[in-house]
Amino acid sequence: MKTAFRSCLLGPVALGYGVIGRMRNLIAAALIVAGGAAAAEPVTVAALGDSLTQGYGLPQGDGFVPRLQAWLAANGADAEIVNAGVSGDTTAGGLARIDWTLTPEVDALIVTLGGNDLLRGIDPATSRANLEAILTKAAERDLPVLLIGMEAPGNYGPDYKVEFDAIYPDLAQRFGTLFAEGFFAPLMQDGADPAALTPFMQPDGIHPNAEGVAKIVEGLGPKVLDLIAQAQSS
């Protein structure tokens, strides 16, 4: 009789513990799934630039950002590239909008600015100061950066060219960023003759055509993969 009575008392208690145990298991499983989903979120990369980044003169799918997005997907990278390119922007313009470009979702930054500084003959010291300020903003957020260089033409004189061309490798070394020698460098692999660029350029001679963008993406893509790897490890 005492045994039966004890069983009646313990039965509901044991049942309660069983329910609690199952609930704990369900909660643990949900946390694991949530953690896995968070880990699977793509890396968000902001591409800060001018018309070269924005995709001037091209159908939407042929621009630099969508082509890069497709290349990364084909090479197994889970990343979202945000097109922060504004046609006509100088380094000053990029600096003016860097704060709202670097939203909390951004994990890494590509900087391709300086081409319009060259077209306007802006003092290289000014361009350097603007790019330095942009990289400082990224460093304050501990964001990995890929800095893509620009090369000055010779029509401003040798002193201007030397001073401008030095900006990008100098800043990349100082801030410890990834560095690509030039946006158009992948088009020059078959020879240094500027005439070799003609088949890959739009009629304005400034912006790449769809074929040119495809070659540029193939050349810069591995650098972007390195950038994504840095973001994932940080």
Distance of CA 99 to the CA centre of its chain: 15
Q: Which amino acid belongs to residue 49?
A: G
3-state helix, strand, coil in the chain (%, to 5): 60, 10, 25
51 in catalytic set = yes
Exactly one of 50, 89, 107, 207 is catalytic; which is it?
207
Tokens 């088009």 locate to 187
> For residue 68, with 0-12 CB atoms within 10 Å meaning exposed, 13-18 middle and 19 or more buried, which class applies?
buried
Spatial separation of the C-alpha atoms in residues 200 and 205, rounded to whole Å:
9
Instruction: Output the CA torsion sign for 230, 53, 100, 151.
Output: positive
The verdict on whether 207 is a catalytic residue reads: yes
| Cα 144 to Cα 155: distance, rounded to the nearest angstrom | 34
**Which among 142, 190, 204, 233 is annotated as catalytic?**
204
Torsion sign (Cα): 190, 191, 193, 194: positive
Q: How far apart are CA 191 and CA 23, in angstroms?
A: 67
Q: In whole angstroms, what is the distance from residue 143 CA to residue 81 CA?
A: 15
The catalytic residue among 51, 89, 107, 117 is: 51
> Which positions are annotated as active-site residues?
51, 204, 207
